Amino acid sequence: MFVTMILPFFLSLAITPRCNPCACLPRGVGSDEIVSVQKKQNAGSPHAVTVGATLKSLGARCRKGKLFDAHGREIYFYRLSGCWGNPPADYQEILARQSEELSKLRKRYHVIEMTCNTAGVEIN
């Protein structure tokens, strides 16, 4: 009887995709959100990389409500700008400010840059 009760529980753990560190995601960031889109080598359709997959590849852990990578560095999510069909007049300033912010953040955090181009379409 014990085995018939416990076995389904362990099977559900093995089958159900889990993202333990996802419990510590900041407000507004979901585990299924796209971080980047990678083109496949054999000219297939682009492959979306999610927040959950990125955290798994980093060996992320949740400690005291915050996310840390495998090396103990806190993880910070940054939404990139720059996916404009017709860029605004001050786009160079926006991108320069973004670059400066990212540079400062990288000194303290493991920054995950979240693309604004979730469709994987090339932007000129």
How do the domains of the chain map onto residue ranges? 19-114
Query: pLDDT tens-digit profile of 24-67?
Result: 899 999 999 999 988 777 666 778 899 999 999 999 999 999 99
Considering only the C-alpha atoms of the chain, give the largest distance between any 2 of them, rounded to a whole number of Å.
70
Give me the pLDDT at residue 43, please. Answer: 62
Q: Decide which of 52 and 9 is more confident.
A: 52
Residues 120, 48: Cα–Cα separation, whole Å:
8
Residue 8's pLDDT band (cuts 50, 70, 90): very low
Give me the pLDDT at residue 35, please. Answer: 92
Residues 120, 6: Cα–Cα separation, whole Å:
43
Residues 79, 115: Cα–Cα separation, whole Å:
6
Give me the pLDDT at residue 120, please. Answer: 60
